[in-house]
Amino acid sequence: MRTLPRPNSSFSGTVVAEVVDFEAERMLRLRWQDADEGQGNRADWAITWILEPEGRGTRLFLVREGFDPDDPYQVQAHRIMGGGWRSIVTERLGKVLNKM
């Protein structure tokens, strides 16, 4: 994946991602790392999407792992991404589900 580089956080803008675990209709775990280790970014993160039946619907759990709480750049990335998950992803997921 590619996005804008963030030199102030040592992020190259290029991410290597892989599916590390999968259970049909239940769970998807992705891992990603900064593709340019020479930038000094030690990002090695995972995100897990878990679906669990609840009542007449389904609850979605999102688990983010691997952020180093002692690395100020990773703390900042965790905070920024958290805002995106709560606002952008939730809004767009809601629009998709409303069309179903």
Cα 47 to chain centroid distance, Å, stands at 5
Query: How is the chain split into domains, by residue range?
Result: 7-99
At 14-26, the pLDDT tens digits run: 888 899 999 999 9
CATH of 7-99, one of 3.30.530.20, 3.40.50.300, 3.40.50.450, 3.30.360.10: 3.30.530.20
Indicate the average pLDDT of the chain: 84
| CB half-sphere exposure, 62, CA atoms < 13 A | 8
Tokens of 41: 């970014």
Task: Give the global pTM.
Answer: 0.73
Could you tell me where the DSSP H helices lie in 1-100? 72-84, 90-99
Cα separation of 3 and 13, whole Å? 5
Question: Looking at the chain, how many residues does it have?
Answer: 100
